[in-house]
Amino acid sequence: MSTLPLTFSKALRQDGDRIVELREKVGGQVLLHTLHLDEATFVGLEQALAMHPFAKKKKDDDVLCFRSIETPIDDPRRFLGLTIVNTGSRHHTRIELSPQSLAIFQNAYDAWNGRLEESPSRASQTTTGLRPVVSDC
């Protein structure tokens, strides 16, 4: 299991639903969230989970991390910042979010941030506004 704070473990279609599993780690606690997403956001996450940008490393070692919620000025679009991590290497990417998916990820981030604020291991991680910055990812 990954020691990174917010990671995506899988994306699957089930009974017409598009479901993504988000693992959250705060201190020694690990929570699993099931997120129901719209088609466009789901397809973007599915592609990110399938992506393997490290030619000399094993795909099985890739971990997809929630990196940020990006809200550019002068652009109505919103993005989910992602980082693919593999034994010390990192690759950043992002996908566009629908308004519904933005709310889902904002809620997941706010809940994680609230638990992080209460965690004794807070010193190793910092956050700023809507753009979470996580030292491990």
Q: What is the DSSP string of 47-59?
A: HHHH----TTS-G
Q: Evaluate whether residue 18 is within a structural domain.
A: yes
Is it the case that residue 125 has pLDDT exceeding 70? no
Query: Is 84 within 8 Å of 62 (Cβ atoms)?
Result: yes
| pLDDT, tens digit, 9 for 90 and up, residues 2-58 | 446 889 988 999 998 999 999 988 777 788 889 999 999 999 999 999 998 999 999
Q: What percent of the chain has pLDDT over 90?
A: 52
Task: Note down the domain range covering 13.
Answer: 6-133
State phi, psi for 33 to the nearest 5 degrees: -110, 140
In this prediction the pTM is 0.78
Q: Evaluate whether residue 90 is within a structural domain.
A: yes
Residue 50's Cβ-side half-sphere holds a number of Cα atoms within 13 Å equal to 8
Instruction: Please indicate whether residue 23 or residue 120 has the higher confidence score (pLDDT).
Output: 23
Q: Evaluate whether residue 1 is within a structural domain.
A: no
Q: Evaluate whether residue 64 is within a structural domain.
A: yes
Q: Evaluate whether residue 115 is within a structural domain.
A: yes
The count of structural domains within the chain is 1
In this prediction, residues 53-74 reach a mean pLDDT of 90
Is it the case that residue 132 has pLDDT exceeding 60? no
